[in-house]
Amino acid sequence: MSYKLLDGKDLAARMKKDMLKEVEELTKAGIFPGLAVVIVGNDPASRIYVNSKKRDCEEVGIKSFEYSLPEQTSEEELLGLIDALNQDPAVDGILVQLPLPKHLDEAKVIRRINSEKDVDAFHPYNVGELMIGRPVFAPCTPAGVMELIKDAGLDVAGKNCVVVGRSNIVGKPMAMLMLHDNATVTICHSKTKDLKAVCKEADILIAAIGRANYITADYVKEGAIVIDVGMNRNSEGKVTGDVDFPAICEKASAITPVPGGVGPMTRAMLLKNTIKACNMHKNYGLS
Ligand code: GUN
């Protein structure tokens, strides 16, 4: 079976071109979208993510402000910084890179971000708005997956969608976005009985497990659409997804590569949310 490659790198590049134009228009009007990125400690993966987010901002003309805090930063100091960023009119979006060092309470930190600047959509207010079907900001990874599906001319309505993974960042919001677009959604996790049989029923299979090549060809129905949210490093340090791509592309009608599939879409959606926040603040006089 020939398959369609869902090329996130290409779609993200097209989206960035459009966003560059939009930011240029805002800038001409004296409005400068700004994203504050907060990183605490020295986690190497977080450092790579933060650097790429800064680069993405530059590419589309969004101002980025980096706050790199030492590992031993106290909760009080971090909350103080968030309070200041909440008040800062140059800052439209605030992103606190996760995970935080163990002594910091992530839930408390996220709650402190003004929900109107919560471009990650992790604040309980935004989680709630998503749940009731009126998201202000949609979380970047699941929103990016939806864009990728739509851009390929595919529709989730009426389809059997199976999400493997129930994280707050990917699995749960992914299920909500597809449900709102009229999919029939099943969420699976480590305690799901006969995961293989459930996955095999999927018209659209979303793998967000975090284990390299966990989803093998015998989990996939002939003609299914397969979305790989995994970002794992194998023993040689190479990035691989949760899906056994070479075997599954023989069966799938459409599939995302890793790298170059969901990852670039996540980053593009962060920029989109930041521009959206800027437009909201401009209209409501927050900045
Ligand atoms: N750590 C891993 N992914 C993400 C993300 O999307 N946002 C933030 N803030 N931290 C992360």
Give the residue ranges of the chain where pLDDT is below 50.
Answer: 287
How would you write 224-257 as a 3-class SS string? Answer: CEEEECCCEECCCCCEECCECHHHHCCCCCEECC
- What own/partner pairs with CB < 8 Å and gap ≥ 24 does 23-30 have? 23/60, 23/61, 23/62, 23/275, 24/61, 26/275, 26/278, 26/279, 26/282, 27/61
Between strands 204-207 and 93-96, the pairing is: unpaired
Positions of CATH 3.40.50.10860 in the chain: 30-114
A 10 A CB-CB count for 205 gives: 28
Tell me the pLDDT tens digit for each residue of 208-217.
999 999 999 9
Tokens of 271: 């920029």
CA 159 to ligand 1 center in whole angstroms:
29
* Cβ(106) – ligand 1 distance below 6 Å: no
Q: Start-end ranges of CATH 3.40.50.720 in the chain?
A: 140-263
Q: Residue 287: its pLDDT value, please?
A: 47
Residues paired with 34 in a beta bridge: 63
pLDDT at 284: 63
Q: Whose CA is nearest to atom 1 of ligand 1?
A: 98
Is the distance from the beta carbon of residue 95 to the nearest atom of ligand 1 less than 6 Å?
Answer: yes
Q: Is 53 a catalytic residue?
A: yes
**Homologous superfamily (CATH) for 30-114:** Leucine Dehydrogenase, chain A, domain 1 (3.40.50.10860)
Mind listing the pLDDT tens digit for each residue in 18-72?
999 999 999 999 999 999 999 999 999 999 999 999 999 999 999 999 999 999 9
Ligand 1 in reach of 120 Cβ (< 6 A): yes
Asked if residues 41 and 7 have their Cβ atoms less than 8 Å apart, the reply is no
For the 140-263 domain, the top CATH level (class) is alpha beta
Provide the pLDDT for residue 17.
Answer: 98
Instruction: Give first-to-last CA distance, the chain, whole Å.
Output: 53
